[in-house]
């Protein structure tokens, strides 16, 4: 019986000495080392083994919910403005017109819609600035993006484009075009140059954000330029009618919808750690 014990003992010693031998008592779990597949276990296990963080807990901000909220706000503001115009148009009290329509008018500066539009563009500027500081490449393009968003934020409050309306109207007249909003023609060339520069940058973004930002620019320009020109054809400074104001409502809604698309796309590049609330900008689509 002695040789038998020697054989068993020898086998045991050989197995222990083999570095490639894995026993059932120490199973390996490759997914435990993967931050996107955290190890599972009870809270008591975590407490016994020390505090363990789920590094895969970060998730991007939802496009669906952010876009839904922003579009609902734009739609509500546009509807309230239209209702306020209808009430003031039918009412005879001057105080009602001053206190209701003037506050919600989408066609005048220093009103609630213009303030909201300025806030939207400033929010987009903050998001692009975050991307600029977090980006590994194309920081200059993100910086240009930020400056453009800041300009539009200023324009919504200070109505900068109205200052060039006179020269733009003269330029349009020289081309045989009669319009009350000639700034569109004067701003067309600089706008095309900026779009050309930014389009190259946007095309390098992840696919979903790329098409969302392109759609945002298309929707915004359809309102800011398209409906602005259509409204100019029926504009009459001595007769503020529904015929004109419907174009103003469509213009403002499309502008807000375009910026909402832009913000939703940029927010989807921001990841949030659900455990500690850490915000992680991810210009490349996923955190590094």
Lookup: tokens for 241: 């009618």
Residue 95 confidence (pLDDT): 62
Lookup: tokens for 228: 């602005």
What gap in Å lies between CA 286 and CA 269, rounded to an integer?
7
Range among 56-65, 223-232, 250-259 with highest mean pLDDT value: 250-259
What gap in Å lies between CA 174 and CA 266, rounded to an integer?
41
Q: What is the pLDDT of residues 235-264, one digit of tens each?
A: 776 567 888 889 999 999 999 999 999 999
3-state per-residue secondary structure call for 226-283: HHHHHHHHHCCCCCCCHHHHHHHHHHHHHHHHHHHHHHHHHHCCEEEECCCCCEEECC
Phi and psi for 69 in degrees, rounded to 5? Answer: -65, -45
What gap in Å lies between CA 9 and CA 13, rounded to an integer?
6
Query: What's the pTM value of the predicted model, to 2 decimals?
Result: 0.74
The answer to whether 257 and 224 have CB atoms below 8 angstroms apart is no
Question: Is the pLDDT reported for residue 281 higher than 50?
Answer: yes
Residue 261 confidence (pLDDT): 97
**Sheet-wide strand order for 58-60:** 58-60, 270-273, 279-281
Taking the mean position of all CA atoms in its chain, how far away is CA 17?
Answer: 59
Say what angle helices 63-90 and 242-267 make with each other, to 10 degrees.
Answer: 160
Q: What angle do CA 18, 23, 28 make, to 5 degrees?
A: 110
**Average pLDDT of the segment spanning 160-171:** 69
Residue 163 confidence (pLDDT): 67
Q: What is the pLDDT of residues 97-114, one digit of tens each?
A: 667 788 888 887 778 999
């Amino acid at each position: 019986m002695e040789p038998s014990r020697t054989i068993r003992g020898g086998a045991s010693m050989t197995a222990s000495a083999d570095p490639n031998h894995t026993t059932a008592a120490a199973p390996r779990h490759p997914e435990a080392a993967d931050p996107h597949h955290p190890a599972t276990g009870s809270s008591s296990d975590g407490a016994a083994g020390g505090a363990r963080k789920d590094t895969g807990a970060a998730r991007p901000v939802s496009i669906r919910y952010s876009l839904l909220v922003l579009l609902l706000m734009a739609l509500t503001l546009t509807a309230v403005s239209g209702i306020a115009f209808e009430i003031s148009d039918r009412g005879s009290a001057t105080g009602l017109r001053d206190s209701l329509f003037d506050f919600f008018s989408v066609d005048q500066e220093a009103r609630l819609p213009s303030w909201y539009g300025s806030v939207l563009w400033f929010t987009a500027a903050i998001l692009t600035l975050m991307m600029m500081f977090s980006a590994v490449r194309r920081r200059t393009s993100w910086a240009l993006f930020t400056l453009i968003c800041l300009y539009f934020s200023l324009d919504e409050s200070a109505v900068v484009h109205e200052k060039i309306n006179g020269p733009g109207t003269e330029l349009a007249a020289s081309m045989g075009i009669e319009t009350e909003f000639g700034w569109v023609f004067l701003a067309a060339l600089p706008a095309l140059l900026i779009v050309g520069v930014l389009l190259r940058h946007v095309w390098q973004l992840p696919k979903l954000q790329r098409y969302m930002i392109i759609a945002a620019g298309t929707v915004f320009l359809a309102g800011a330029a398209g409906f602005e020109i259509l409204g100019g054809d029926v504009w009459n400074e001595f007769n503020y009618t529904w015929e004109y104001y419907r174009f103003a409502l469509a213009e403002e809604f499309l502008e807000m919808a375009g910026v909402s698309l832009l913000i939703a796309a940029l927010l989807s590049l921001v990841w949030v750690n659900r455990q500690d609330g850490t915000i992680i900008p991810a210009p490349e689509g996923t955190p590094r």
